[in-house]
Amino acid sequence: MTGERIYLYDTTLRDGAQTQDVDFSVADKIAIAQDLDRLGIDYIEGGWPGANPTDDRFFGSDAPTLARATFTAFGMTRRPGRSAANDPGLAGLFNARCSAVCMVGKTWDFHVDVALAIPREENLELIRDSVAAAKAAKGEALFDAEHFFDGYKRNPGYAASCVRAAYEAGARWVVLCDTNGGTLPHEIEEIVHAVVHEHGIPGDRLGIHCHNDTENAVANSLAAVRAGARMIQGTLNGLGERCGNANLVALIPTLMLKMGFRTGVRAEDLGLLTEVSRALDERLNRAPNRHAAYVGASAFAHKGGLHVSAVEKDPACYEHIAPETVGNRRQIVVSDQAGRSNILARLREMGLDIDPADARLPRLVDLVKQRDTAGYAYDTAEASFELLARRELGKVPAFFELKRFHVTDERRYNAKGELVVESEAVVRVKIGDQVRHEVADGNGPVHALDQAMRKALESTYPLIRGVKLVDYRVRILAATAGTAAMPRVLIRSRNGDGSEWSTLGVSTNIIEASTEALVDSYTFKLLRDGVAPRG
């Protein structure tokens, strides 16, 4: 298949917008479209003009400026009982500022009978008319064959006649949709093969549109390609209703790096993939999926001790592609499972080149294991690990010390007679030989502590102002019989420049565990920025 061209059709802005909790503004749509265009996606489906005010603007006054992609509007074939010229839905579609239109129509006889309730022959006319009118109006028409696979399994002749109608009416692409997402890869491959070889639609006019309801959307898309289809519809990060659509972010590198296809994505632009994927999550205010294929933060993480020494000898031993190809990077993880070679590799990553024979190394390995058993999950908190390691190697300056704290949380009646809850924290922080004694309020005890510590630290270390707490989690480590439950607190901090780090604390007292994680976070920031300790 080497060198053959696969066309990529993104529907993040239409099918992806069906995801629960996803609601794109026009500004979001413009930014996402520009990212898709920059990456090299061939078709960008922007939405459904006429369906809502956002899409009306996006296909009107606020249409995006694209360098390469074909901006595409989605809609339905004409309604029964009207001509294409008199259908207001089609008119809206044809007036949209776009270069192609994609129209969905029925191909499952059951839906024609029950949902449309028209004779099956009339449905074929609907498809023919609409495709021909769209081609005339916009130059390029695509047909989305809804429920094609479910329809084909029950009535192959009728389903095939529907897609042939679209093909014969001039559709540039006939897109076979697995609308309910229940079809398996081997079924997709067989049916697409039949469409090409028995029903005479050439592969370079056929597209595939899959959903992830059996976790096979990517494999289903690849199966269709193997059977001849040359366009794939999907979304960024597999966004989409129910279980999502086929994930273009996973498909693109597989097609290009493993199957030898060309796409609109230039080889040198494949490195944008991680960035484009994460930018979408950022826009949706979601934590990116660490485990995402190719682009996840953990996609090239190595944990087991055995693996790590081998990876260092030759990355191809344990990595299916070079992470940089897709703009990602390797990550070495530390934990209980890790041996000495993990820890050495981590130390090297943080710029500490320790002699493997160094006597401090086994002590550090033992310490990590001990603390892991005590609940310090260092693989979740790389900054706390770095501090532990550097302290053990004698390389962390004494920036400050939190000597004492006193936190109160009170529910009481305020002057207006309302029941309110207030938190206040008092801290004594030693910086050099000065002790700062500060107090602050917060909307909870950890917030109050954070505020009080900032008051104590910021005059000496103004860089701390740039640090924000972006996540806080608590888990009780399962108490074994007879021991007290131990909360483990995990804090994620973000710097002004967008970099993030995680720190943790473990104590029977949740407030103490929180202070431990907070102290680590500030210390890490100061250490990382090379700040000199003050006195």
Residues between 357 and 386 with contacts to a copy of itself, criterion CB under 8 A: 369, 372-373, 377, 379-380
CB distance 242 to 204 below 8 Å:
no
Sign, Cα dihedral of 442, 447, 451, 452? positive
Least Å distance between CB 333 and a copy of itself? 6
Which C-beta is closer to a copy of itself: that of 72 or that of 423? 423
CA 496 from chain centre, in angstroms, equals 22
Residue 248 is a binding residue for a copy of itself (CB under 8 A) = no
Residue 34 is a binding residue for a copy of itself (CB under 8 A) = no
Residue 487 is a binding residue for a copy of itself (CB under 8 A) = yes
Distances (CA, A) of 277 to 328, 331, 501: 11, 18, 20
Which C-beta is closer to a copy of itself: that of 95 or that of 337? 337
Q: What is the DSSP letter of 532?
A: P
Please state, as a whole number, how many other Cβ atoms lie within 10 Å of the Cβ of residue 301.
Answer: 16
Distances (CA, A) of 216 to 251, 252, 295, 310, 331: 12, 16, 19, 32, 28
Least Å distance between CB 163 and a copy of itself? 19
Least Å distance between CB 291 and a copy of itself? 5
Q: Which residues pair with 440 in a beta bridge?
A: 425
Residue 95 C-beta-side C-alpha neighbours within 13 Å: 14
Q: Which residues, including other chains, have CB under 8 Å from residue 218's CB and lie 6 or more apart?
A: 210, 212, 246, 247, 250, 251, 254, 293
Least Å distance between CB 256 and a copy of itself? 12
Least Å distance between CB 475 and a copy of itself? 5
Residue 272 is a binding residue for a copy of itself (CB under 8 A) = no
| Among 1, 267, 435, 474, interactor with a copy of itself by CB under 8 A | 474
Residue 18 is a binding residue for a copy of itself (CB under 8 A) = yes
Least Å distance between CB 170 and a copy of itself? 26
CB distance 277 to 299 below 8 Å:
no
State the virtual CA torsion across 341, 346, 352, 358 in degrees, nearest 10.
-20
Least Å distance between CB 244 and a copy of itself? 5
Distances (CA, A) of 168 to 128, 185, 403: 8, 27, 80
Residue 51 is a binding residue for a copy of itself (CB under 8 A) = yes
**Binding-site string for a copy of itself from residue 142 to residue 171, where x marks contact by CB under 8 A and - marks none:** ------------------------------
| Among 34, 298, 325, 495, interactor with a copy of itself by CB under 8 A | 298
Please state, as a whole number, how many other Cβ atoms lie within 10 Å of the Cβ of residue 464.
Answer: 18
Residue 54 is a binding residue for a copy of itself (CB under 8 A) = yes
Which C-beta is closer to a copy of itself: that of 140 or that of 491? 491
Among 167-175, 228-236, 250-258, 355-363, the segment contacting a copy of itself (CB under 8 A)? 250-258
Least Å distance between CB 161 and a copy of itself? 20
Q: Where are the alpha helices (DSSP H) in 113-184?
A: 120-138, 148-154, 156-168
CB distance 508 to 479 below 8 Å:
no
Least Å distance between CB 25 and a copy of itself? 5
Site for a copy of itself in 381-420 (CB under 8 A): 402-413, 419
Least Å distance between CB 168 and a copy of itself? 26
Site for a copy of itself in 102-131 (CB under 8 A): 110-111, 114-115
Q: What is the DSSP letter of 444?
A: S
Would you state the structure tokens that stand for residue 168, as one six-digit string?
Answer: 């014969």
**C-alpha angle 63-69-74 in degrees, rounded to nearest 5:** 60
Which C-beta is closer to a copy of itself: that of 17 or that of 440? 17
Residue 319 is a binding residue for a copy of itself (CB under 8 A) = yes
Would you state the structure tokens that stand for residue 92, as one six-digit string?
Answer: 């809206």
SS3 of residue 282 by DSSP: helix
Please state, as a whole number, how many other Cβ atoms lie within 10 Å of the Cβ of residue 89.
Answer: 19
| Among 2, 3, 23, 414, interactor with a copy of itself by CB under 8 A | 23
Residue 300 is a binding residue for a copy of itself (CB under 8 A) = yes
Residue 28 is a binding residue for a copy of itself (CB under 8 A) = yes
Site for a copy of itself in 324-363 (CB under 8 A): 333, 335-337
Query: How many amino acids of this chain bind a copy of itself (CB under 8 A)?
Result: 122
Which C-beta is closer to a copy of itself: that of 135 or that of 284? 284
Least Å distance between CB 148 and a copy of itself? 14
**Binding-site string for a copy of itself from residue 507 to residue 526, where x marks contact by CB under 8 A and - marks none:** xxxxxx--x-----------
Q: Which of 30, 89, 87 is nearest to 54 (CA)?
A: 30
Would you state the structure tokens that stand for residue 179, as one six-digit string?
Answer: 């609308």
Least Å distance between CB 239 and a copy of itself? 9
Residue 190 is a binding residue for a copy of itself (CB under 8 A) = no
Which C-beta is closer to a copy of itself: that of 222 or that of 347? 222
Site for a copy of itself in 430-469 (CB under 8 A): 443-446, 469
Least Å distance between CB 422 and a copy of itself? 8
Pairing of strands 141-146, 173-177: parallel
Residue 214 is a binding residue for a copy of itself (CB under 8 A) = yes
Lookup result for tokens 């603390």: 371
- Type of residue numbered 182: G
Q: Which helix (H) or strand (E) holds 28?
A: helix 26-39
